Amino acid sequence: MRAQSKKFCVGATFAAVLCCEAMAAHTNRLAHEKSPYLLQHAHNPVDWFPWGEEAFAKARKENKPIFLSIGYSTCHWCHVMERESFENADVAELMNRCFVSIKVDREERPDIDKIYMTAVQATTGSGGWPMSVWLTPDLKPFYCGTYFPPESRYGRPGFKELLQRVHDVWESNPDGVVAQAKQVMDVLTEHSALPAAGDTRLDDAPLKLGLDQFRLVYDSKYGGFGGAPKFPRPVVLNFLFRVGGKDMALFTLRKMGEGGMFDQLGGGFHRYSVDERWLVSHFEKMLYDQAQLVCSCVDAYQITHDPFFADIARRTCDYVLRDMTAPDGGFYSAEDADSEGVEGKFYVWTRKEIEQVLGDKAESFCRAYDVDTPGNWEHGLNVLHGAGFPEERTKLFAAREKRVRPHRDEKILTAWNGLMISAFARASQALDEPKYRAAALNAAHLILTSRIKDGKLMRTETVPGMVEDYAFFANGLVDLYETDFDPQWLLKAIELSDTMLKLFYDPKDGGFFQTDGRDASVLVRSKEDYDGAEPSGNSMATLLLLRLAQFTDRDDYRKAAERTLTAFSPLMQRAPHVVPQMLCALDLYLSKPKQIIIAGKSDDTMLRVIREKFLPNKIVAHADQRLVKLMPYIKDMTPVDGKATAYVCEDFVCQLPTNDIEALRKLLER
């Protein structure tokens, strides 16, 4: 089971391949859906419904409870439960007779997932996927859990037995069930409300406390925070790079890059490590991890100029280009952990297999990558971890490509594409790599041409955008603007931000709701407050507005960001480790950001000087006359002596312009 807590978002995966025999036997309504996860269940004997009014109306009309199952296509235990229970004809008969069964892809509908995961955590003390929740016909949860085995184990009822129990209680005591649902809804409402902010002052106290909290749980031997299992959680690295925890962040990132959590042959990071050493991972690969960890590696490279971090960033970007990029330029969501039904089979090696590929070069490679005959994992299998030997890696990669590949979830999510656009844009800047800029451009064009309907952003082709879709994608467009200085990216980011404010911002109490409130089936309109495997929509929306305020000097952006920080201030003061990305926004708010404006034809040498430094609280713009209306302060910024000239400013008060490279370096160091 994939566990989740308020401290960590944990991942685990496995995707079953659709089987032709099953397809011939059964087909349900999920066959008409686009989500890979729902399509994987389209030929179960269970009469699955997608989330929607057809299912709700059936439950109301027949007075049946709803069985809600939430997961995702690369979730290992989701597919274990499918094989054990949802493909079982007897279990399906009971489900079809006594319940209305609904399947939801948590990646497609994080708003639905958020509500019912909160219910699971509140009533059981933990959570995970597959999520199994029983609802009243009006969608209120009354019994919650995660994975249930087919038969009773360790004192827990088997799934079929549990279905019968729930049905019997619904039939014999419906009033009791309704009362239980009301209690759960009360808890949900309480959990979804932010504590009152009062007259909280915004200062750097949460930054200091957050740094202390992470130092307290830091593993100085292996890197990372806490014990096994260990998670990358790049939002923590973002925070530490900014506020004096660079030593912890750099060591952690190096250990991850040298470990088995990084795919030493094909590039890219696996979801998390099951041990404290970053050796054995749950082998699935998520787009959001690749995107964020590329940015972390770029930060590390700018701080240290160590080619190790540039190499890990390049290999991760190249993995996404090779294996996770659609023909139309969008980025796929995930790759599974399992191949041929076995977790990690695609990635691990016996020593004999390596000897067959490398011949007399095998001995030195195996020594460097901790490969031996007994295996460093299990059953004589080895997870590669180490560094060097690029020629040998290439040969092993070519041999591995002949294996059966894991399932790939080809769903294209706007939010995650936004994160990857940022990653490619920033990698292009720091590593001076045009193909990464091209990848960011292609994806941005795809989203802008296919995911905007009636002026609003869509998360998928059919699901409306949520605050994270707007915030992640618009931040990506700002990063893209700082890469090629094409005004369209900045103008579109501003347009999307204005829409985001209209749809999601709470002008009364501050902060951003996850949804726009139009879908009545979303029972609780929450404000996401946890920076976990992904940053929260609130953290990224706040960062976005503060960045755009530096470009435009718009006070409404600055005030909305300030009110959001104030709304989250009690949480930042009490438990800053929960919201490290919001702490990054607070750091930007409290700092004096640099505005770096280039006048005249952009000079590659000048840009290289700017991009080689770690300057998280800065913007870079071009004094393009097409942007004067938006940025009036650039009107009089002109080249000096006909050469590209830099204007380095703080709070729109500028130093003397310069086109001298060494003078620019000194200005950036102030």
The pLDDT tens digits for 269-315 are: 999 999 999 999 999 999 999 999 999 999 999 999 999 999 999 99
Q: Is the pLDDT of residue 15 over 70?
A: no
Asked if 89 and 45 count as a contact pair (C-beta separation under 8 A), the reply is yes
pTM of the model: 0.94
Structure tokens that stand for 93 in this block: 């008969």
Q: Give 2's pLDDT tier (boundaries 50, 70, 90).
A: very low
Cα separation values, 185 from 123, 178, 181, 189, 192, Å: 11, 10, 6, 6, 10
Q: How far apart are CA 42 and CA 131, in angstroms?
A: 18
What's the pLDDT tens digit per position in 408-453? 999 999 999 999 999 999 999 999 999 999 999 999 999 999 999 9
- Fill in the DSSP letter of residue 156: B
- Fill in the DSSP letter of residue 325: B
Q: How far apart are CA 259 and CA 395, in angstroms?
A: 20
Question: Nearest CA to 478 among 466, 465, 494?
Answer: 494
Q: How far apart are CA 120 and CA 329, in angstroms?
A: 37
Give the per-residue pLDDT at 335. 97
Calculate mean pLDDT across residues 81-96: 97
Map residue 468 onto helix, strand or coil: helix
Tokens 């905007």 appear where? Answer: 452
Q: Which residue has the higher pLDDT, 78 or 1?
A: 78
Given phi > 0 = left and psi -120 to 50 = alpha, else beta, which region is 458?
beta
What's the pLDDT tens digit per position in 313-352? 999 999 999 999 999 999 999 999 999 989 999 999 999 9
What does the DSSP assignment read for 469-521? HHHHHHHHHHHHHHHH--HHHHHHHHHHHHHHHHHHB-TTT-SB-SS-S--TT
Cis peptide before 580 (omega within 30 of 0): no
Q: Is the pLDDT of residue 266 over 80?
A: yes
Give the per-residue pLDDT at 19. 41
- CATH C-level class of 206-336+410-590: mainly alpha
Structure tokens that stand for 665 in this block: 């370096």
Give the per-residue pLDDT at 198. 60
Give the per-residue pLDDT at 153. 80
What's the pLDDT tens digit per position in 205-262? 999 999 999 999 999 999 999 999 999 999 999 999 999 999 999 999 999 999 999 9
Calculate mean pLDDT across residues 53-67: 98
- Fill in the DSSP letter of residue 194: P
CB atoms under 10 Å from CB of 669, counted, come to 8
Sign of CA dihedral 187, 193, 199, 202: positive
Q: Give 197's pLDDT tier (boundaries 50, 70, 90).
A: low
Q: Is the pLDDT of residue 480 over 70?
A: yes
Q: Give 382's pLDDT tier (boundaries 50, 70, 90).
A: very high
* Percent of the chain whose pLDDT exceeds 70: 96
Give the per-residue pLDDT at 497. 98
CB atoms under 10 Å from CB of 331, counted, come to 27
Q: Is the pLDDT of residue 13 over 70?
A: no
Report the Cα–Cα distance between both ends of the chain, in Å, rounded.
50
Map residue 206 onto helix, strand or coil: helix
Calculate mean pLDDT across residues 357-379: 96
Q: How far apart are CA 412 and CA 577, in angstroms?
A: 30
Q: Is the pLDDT of residue 121 over 80?
A: yes
The arrangement of strands across the sheet holding 334-335 comes to 285-286, 334-335, 408-409
Burial of 67 (0-12, 13-18, 19+ CB in 10 A): buried
Q: How far apart are CA 38 and CA 181, in angstroms?
A: 27
CB atoms under 10 Å from CB of 272, counted, come to 26
Provide the b/e sequence for 602-615 (b: ≥16 CB within 10 Å): ebeebbebbbbebb
Give the per-residue pLDDT at 14. 34
Give the per-residue pLDDT at 619. 97
Q: Is the pLDDT of residue 20 over 90?
A: no
Calculate mean pLDDT across residues 602-620: 94
Asked if 42 and 33 count as a contact pair (C-beta separation under 8 A), the reply is yes
Q: How far apart are CA 630 and CA 627, in angstroms?
A: 5
Asked if 138 and 149 count as a contact pair (C-beta separation under 8 A), the reply is no
Q: Furthest-apart CA pair in the chain: how many Å? A: 88
Asked if 273 and 326 count as a contact pair (C-beta separation under 8 A), the reply is no
The CATH classification number of 2-192 equals 3.40.30.10
Cα separation values, 308 from 122, 311, 314, 531, Å: 43, 5, 10, 27
Residues in the chain: 670
Calculate mean pLDDT across residues 128-146: 96
Map residue 218 onto helix, strand or coil: strand
Give the per-residue pLDDT at 209. 98
Structure tokens that stand for 147 in this block: 């994975």
Give the per-residue pLDDT at 445. 98
Q: Is the pLDDT of residue 549 over 50?
A: yes
Give the per-residue pLDDT at 7. 29
Q: Give 10's pLDDT tier (boundaries 50, 70, 90).
A: very low
For the chain, the average pLDDT equals: 93
